[in-house]
């Protein structure tokens, strides 16, 4: 049962989520990078350079077991999740930038995710009998990622009304799929999770808060507009946990490796919501500060 879920269920689940992403994308979303290069470059530097470095530091600081350490690095290397669009909409971020960043970071992850994960496997050596990621399987996983996205984009291009009608149902299915996948990962490796629950919860919460904070503050320091900084923060703080879980279980054959992503996948929604309220209240306070009286 568990084996069939891993080999058949997880790729199908990821395919559904990627199809949903494709339904929200157009070719123009990739082209929009040229019209707002500063915001995109700032977000990508945070996601591809700062986040893996911060995660590596946290893993060393918390002294995680090797398997969970690699799982955290796999999570850090995964691109932004599609739910970032929803949070960006709730807290008045630039949704168009979210869509662009999701598209671009997902494409770049084809290269960076295997590189970062292989580095982590080489450094922490969690497997006695395995030499890193199996590249053929990596290609298979990204075929599962890219083909549904391409199909979704084609549907959006040629059947836009159908794509609009399907957007909400596919999003709902995606959330249900994430819940089922997380529950499966937790149930399959309950002992490892129970032994490291406190440590794992603490490092994932810390990493999520830092991801959201970096994603917001770095663009603001670079004078990127506030709505774009909000979009960037959610794009960087809300990872594609399902992708990390699928790679951990199907490519590397380790449910334990997917536990950090499973825990993060649950906690990130609550933390992101709290973060959104925080930056919204700060903005409201700034907007309502009374002007000095004229003399």
* DSSP codes, 153-217: HHHHHH-HHHHHHHHHHHHHHHHHHHHHHHHHHHHHTHHHHHHHHHHHHHHHHHHHHHHHHHHHH
Is 176's pLDDT higher than 70? yes
Can you tell me the distance from the alpha carbon of 63 to that of 4, in angstroms, rounded to the nearest whole number?
Answer: 33
pLDDT band at 33 (very low <50, low <70, confident <90, very high): low
pLDDT band at 205 (very low <50, low <70, confident <90, very high): very high
Pick 117 or 107 by higher pLDDT: 117
What pLDDT score was predicted for residue 69?
Answer: 92
Pick 225 or 241 by higher pLDDT: 225
Is 125's pLDDT higher than 80? no
Q: 142 vs 16, 77, 108, 156, 222, CA distance in Å?
A: 14, 14, 11, 21, 33
pLDDT band at 268 (very low <50, low <70, confident <90, very high): confident
- Report whether 101 contacts 40 (CB < 8 A): yes
Please give the average per-residue pLDDT across 131-135, as a whole number. Answer: 54
Most confident of 198-202, 233-237, 252-256: 233-237
Average pLDDT taken over every residue of the chain: 79
Proportion of the chain above pLDDT 70, given as a percent: 78
pLDDT band at 192 (very low <50, low <70, confident <90, very high): low
Q: How far apart are the first and last CA of the chain?
A: 78
Q: Give the number of other CB atoms < 10 A from CB of residue 285.
A: 9
What pLDDT score was predicted for residue 9?
Answer: 64
pLDDT band at 128 (very low <50, low <70, confident <90, very high): low
State the DSSP H helix or E strand holding residue 69, giving kind and residue range, or none if neither: helix 66-77
Is 35's pLDDT higher than 60? yes
CATH of 2-280, one of 1.10.3720.10, 3.30.420.40, 1.20.1530.20, 3.50.50.60: 1.20.1530.20
Please give the average per-residue pLDDT across 200-222, as a whole number. Answer: 94
pLDDT band at 289 (very low <50, low <70, confident <90, very high): very low
Give the range among 1-15, 53-67, 233-247 with minimum mean pLDDT.
1-15
Can you tell me the distance from the alpha carbon of 280 to that of 284, in angstroms, rounded to the nearest whole number?
Answer: 6
Structure token pair of residue 191? 């002992």
Can you tell me the distance from the alpha carbon of 137 to that of 241, in angstroms, rounded to the nearest whole number?
Answer: 19
Pick 84 or 137 by higher pLDDT: 84
User: How many Cα neighbours within 13 Å face the side chain of 127?
Assistant: 19
């Amino acid at each position: 049962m568990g084996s069939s879920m891993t080999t058949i269920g997880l790729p199908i689940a990821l395919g559904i989520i990627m199809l949903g992403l494709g339904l929200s994308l157009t070719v123009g979303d990739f082209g929009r990078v040229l019209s707002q290069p500063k915001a995109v470059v700032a977000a990508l530097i945070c996601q591809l350079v700062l986040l893996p470095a911060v995660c590596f530091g946290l893993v060393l600081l918390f002294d995680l077991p090797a398997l969970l350490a690699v799982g955290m690095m796999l999570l850090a290397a995964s691109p932004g999740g599609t739910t970032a669009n929803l949070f960006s909409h709730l807290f008045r971020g630039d949704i168009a930038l979210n869509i662009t960043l999701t598209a671009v970071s997902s494409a770049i992850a084809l290269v960076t995710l295997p590189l970062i994960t292989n580095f982590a496997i080489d450094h922490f050596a969690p497997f006695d009998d395995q030499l890193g990621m199996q590249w053929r399987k990596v290609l298979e996983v990204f075929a599962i990622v890219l083909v549904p996205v391409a199909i979704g984009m084609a549907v959006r291009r040629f059947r836009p009304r159908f794509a609009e009608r399907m957007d909400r149902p596919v999003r709902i299915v995606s959330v249900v799929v994430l819940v089922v996948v997380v529950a499966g990962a937790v149930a399959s490796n309950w002992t490892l999770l129970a032994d490291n629950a406190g440590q794992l919860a603490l490092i994932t919460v810390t990493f999520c808060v830092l991801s959201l904070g970096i994603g917001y503050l770095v663009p603001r320091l670079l004078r990127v507009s506030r709505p774009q900084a909000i979009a960037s923060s959610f794009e960087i703080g809300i990872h594609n946990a399902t992708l990390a879980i699928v790679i951990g279980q199907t490519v590397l054959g380790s449910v334990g490796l997917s536990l950090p992503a499973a825990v993060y996948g649950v906690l990130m929604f609550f933390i992101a919501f709290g973060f959104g309220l925080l930056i919204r209240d700060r903005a409201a306070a700034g907007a309502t500060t009374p002007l000095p009286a004229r003399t």
